[in-house]
Amino acid sequence: MDVMDLSATPPPLRGRTVAAQAWRDVAFVHWRVDPEVVRPLMPRGVRPDVFDGSSWVGLVAFELGAARIGPLPPARRWGTFTEINVRLYGIDDEGRHGVVFASLEAASLPAVIGARALFSLPYMFAHTGKRRLEGSGLSLRYTSQRHTARLGGRGPGFDLTVDVDTSRAVRDDLSTFLTARWGLFQTRFGRTLWLPNTHEPWTLHPARVRHLEDELCAAAGLPGIVDAPPESVLFSPGVDARFAAGSTIRVAPDRR
């Protein structure tokens, strides 16, 4: 992958805005992975995106707020919650670099139902939370416990604490590869959709993982990923994102 294909500045968002969200206190934790490991998780017509010979698996935790659909005002009751994503990176034959979500945990049941119905995204209903820890410097803890239909059942859990160095900024090729993603790929009714988004460029700071317990990667079909230390840990105060209507990607005959 030529990182020059990616830019920290978004391209123009074509079409009307169909959804908008605010993403705040965003922790990006990433591991290298062999592209063949994630290839089976890619939608049809999408292949693993590669940087420095590897594809990457990310755990991304943040607070989602001011969620709205179309021209409606932001939802007050269900539109703010902590979200935890397991995400991968793909590229299609048109050269579009996008996110592929393996799973998304959210504490808002209406948001889970809406995202599944409108976009077929693999949202999971979970008890999630975020809090800033007291002490010198900036430290945050993100937690999640997925709900299950079985009485007394326990779904995959997640517990992450990061310490952030706000005195320094990060902008290098790897951080651009991992965060400058102006759309996502998703399978819907047997077709692969490209859903574009836009937001201001990320402000990124280096961070370190103080504590991590994760069962989400394994539940998404990626066991053993978090057994090794992460190779990239970043933090951003956040951005305001907008999404446009999706389009079906073209799939070459040999990729069907």
Please give the C-alpha separations between residue 163 and each of 185, 211, 220, 254, in angstroms, as whole numbers: 31, 10, 26, 46
pLDDT of residue 253: 66
Average pLDDT, the chain: 92
pLDDT of residue 14: 85
Task: Spell out the domain ranges in the chain.
Answer: 16-255
Residues 49 and 16: beta-carbon distance below 8 Å: no
Fold of 16-255: Acetoacetate decarboxylase-like (2.40.400)
Burial 76-107 (b: 16+ CB within 10 A, else e): eebbbbbbbbbbbbbbbeeebbbbbbbbbbbb
Residue corresponding to tokens 């393996």: 102
pLDDT of residue 223: 97
Residues of the chain with pLDDT under 50: 1-2, 4, 256
Tokens found for residue 25: 């206190």
Taking the model in full, what pTM does it have? Answer: 0.94
Partner residues linked to 63 by β-bridges: 24, 82
Angle, vertex CA 45, rays to CA 43 and CA 47, nearest 5: 75
